[in-house]
């Protein structure tokens, strides 16, 4: 996706200097910065969740990975539950 943003001259100059030291383009540096920022905010948000909310999120992620074509019969599920 291509987006145009306005950057003041001072920040742009700093980005150009950093790009030389980092051996990366200004665009690449900005992409890395945005990726890092989003990851940090995601971590902060996750750390604010309660233990129950973390468990719910984990269950949701597992449910999204499940193969919907793989089904179990009611008897299989009841046998598993009765093993305990």
pLDDT digits (tens, 9 = 90+) for 34-56: 999 999 999 999 999 999 999 99
Predicted TM-score (pTM) of the model is 0.59
Tokens of 1: 């996706």
pLDDT at 25 over 80: yes
Cα dist from 24 to 30, 38, 48, whole Å: 10, 20, 34
C-alpha angle 39-5-43 in degrees, rounded to nearest 5: 10
Separation in Å, CA 35 to CA 19, 25, 48: 16, 15, 20
d(CA 83, CA 79): 6
The answer on pLDDT for 84 being more than 70 is no
């Amino acid at each position: 996706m291509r987006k145009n943003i306005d950057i003041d001259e001072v920040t742009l100059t700093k980005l150009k200097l950093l790009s030389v030291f980092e051996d990366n383009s200004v665009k690449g540096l900005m992409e890395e910065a945005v990726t890092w920022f989003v990851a940090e905010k995601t971590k902060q948000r996750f750390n604010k969740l309660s233990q129950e909310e973390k468990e719910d999120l984990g269950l949701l992620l597992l449910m999204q990975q499940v193969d919907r074509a793989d089904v179990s019969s009611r008897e299989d599920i009841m046998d598993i539950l009765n093993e305990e």
